[in-house]
Amino acid sequence: MRPRRTVAAVAALAAVTVFVAGCGRDSGGELGSEDTPATQGSTAAAAGDFGDLKDVCGTGDPKGAPAQGVTASEISVGVFSDVGFTKNSEFDDAAKVFTSWCNEAGGINGRKIAYNLRDSKIFETRQRMIESCREDFAIVGGGSALDAGGVEERLKCLLPDIPAQTSQPENIGSDLQIDAIGAGHSYIRYAGYFNWLLKEAYPASAGAVGIIAGDSPVTKVIGDQTVEAVQKAGGTVAYNDLYPAAGVSDWTPYAQALKSKGVKGLVFQGDFRSLAKLEQVLSSIDYKLDWIDANSNAYGSAFVELAGDAISTQNNLADLSGVAPLEVADEVPAVQKVLDLYKEYAPDAEVTFPALRAFSSWLLFAESAKECGDDLTRKCLYDTAREQTEWTAGGLQASVDITKADAPLKCFNVVQASADGWKPADFEPDTGAFRCDAPSVKYTGSYGTPLTLASVGKSLSDLK
C-alpha cells in the first residue's frame, strides 16, 4: 500500500491514522538515534540479571561471523516502528534502554547489540523490510501498523521476527515469527476477559453489548473479530458501528445511539482520544454504562487526563493479556527492573504497555542468542527461542509455551481506570498477578490468514 497524491490517498491515510493513534501513545521522550548509543551507568544497572533470568547479558570471547549481521564483536538487529508518522518513539526507547543495559553488562556473550531503527512511516513497511533483509540478523521488539506489507520480503530472505506488536492477519502468526506473549492467531485472545466481563463481573450487561470501531483497514477486522468474541462468550451485540477515520466533530449521535439501544457494555476499538471525547458526551447526557473496554491502547496517563471528569463517571477496563501492569512494580521485581532501567538510560521516556511487550521480545532474543554461543545463526536463534515451554520474561508476564506457534492464551489480567490513574481490577487472579483459567476458543469467521514460507517457495529447511 503506497501513498498517492490523490484524494483517495488522503482518505487512506486518515483511515490508517485511526488505528495508529490507538496503537500507542506519545512517550514524551525525544527520538533516539538509529544506532545503539554509547552508554554510561551504574555498576548495579550493568548486572546481567533480569527478574528471575540470570546472566541474560554478559561478557565473553566470541569468535567468527556465523551469519549476516553477526561479527565477532557485534549483532545487528532491526527494530520496526512508524515513528516518522506517529512521532511515538516507544519502540525506539525500549530498544535504546534494553541494548544500553545489555551492552554495559557485556553484551550477548561479549557481542554488543547494535539496533537499526526501521522507520516504516505507515506506508513504507516493504521498503524498510528490504533494507532489513540486506543488513540485519533478526527483527526484534517493534511493530508497524501496516505490517502485512513486509511479510513476503521477510520470508523470502528468511529473517526471524520477535515483534512487540503485530497488526494485520497476513503477519500475525506468520512463519519465522515468535510472539513472546504466546497469543495464537486462530484463537480468541480475549476469551478469558470477555467471559469474566459477561458471566461474572457484569452478567446483566451480556444482553446489550455495543461495539464501536474506527473505519480503518486494521480496526475494521478487529471489530468483526470482537463481534464473534462477544457472542462466543455468551453476549449479544445490540449495537455495532464504525466511526469515520477522518475524525468525529460531535460524538453526541453515537452517545444517543448507545443510550437508545440500552447498551450496558461497550467495546471501543480505535483512538483513545476519541474514546475520551465520547465518554465526556455520555457523561453529559447522564448515561453510564456498566463497563467500557477501553483496551490496552488507553492504558496510560494520557487517557485518564483526556477523559477528565468522565473517568470517574464511566467504568473503564482493559485486558493486558497476561503482561504485568506498571502498578504492581512493588510486587513484581521484573516490572521494577524495567522502571529502573528507563530511569537510568531514558529518564525522559514513558514506559508504555507496548514498551513492556517490547522488553519481553528483547529478553527472548537475548536469552536465545546467548544459548547459541559462538554459533549464532538464524536457525539456532529461532529453534532455541521455540524451545521455551514456560516463558515469563523473568516474571514480566504470565507463563506461555512458545513451542506451540498457534495456541490460546490461558492467562489474562485486567486493569481499571480512575481519577488517580490505572490500577488492577478485582478480577480474582489465581496465579500471582494473573488469572489463568481462560477457555480455549477458536475463531470460526474468515479474517485472513498468516503468510507461510511455502507461500514464497521456501521451507524451514532453508533456514541456516
pLDDT digit string (tens) for 171-220? 999 999 999 998 799 999 999 999 999 999 999 999 999 999 999 888 88
Cβ atoms of residues 352 and 358 within 8 Å: no
- 19-186+330-407+449-462 against 191-320: fold identical: yes
Q: Write the class of the CATH domain 19-186+330-407+449-462.
A: alpha beta
Q: Write the class of the CATH domain 191-320.
A: alpha beta
Q: Rounded CA gap, 56 and 60, in Å? A: 12
pTM of the predicted model, to two decimals?
0.91
| Alpha-carbon distance values, 23 to 253, 271, 279 (Å) | 25, 8, 19
**Could you tell me the pLDDT band of residue 97, with boundaries at 50, 70 and 90?**
very high
Tens digits of residue pLDDT in 363-397: 999 999 999 999 999 999 999 999 999 999 999 99
Cβ atoms of residues 382 and 310 within 8 Å: no
Residue spans per domain, the chain: 19-186+330-407+449-462, 191-320
**Could you tell me the pLDDT band of residue 31, with boundaries at 50, 70 and 90?**
very low
Q: Rounded CA gap, 376 and 387, in Å? A: 16
Q: What is the pLDDT of residue 246?
A: 81
Q: What is the pLDDT of residue 34?
A: 37
The yes-or-no verdict on residue 46 having pLDDT over 70 is no
Instruction: Provide the 10 A C-beta neighbour count for residue 37.
Output: 12
Q: What is the pLDDT of residue 21?
A: 41
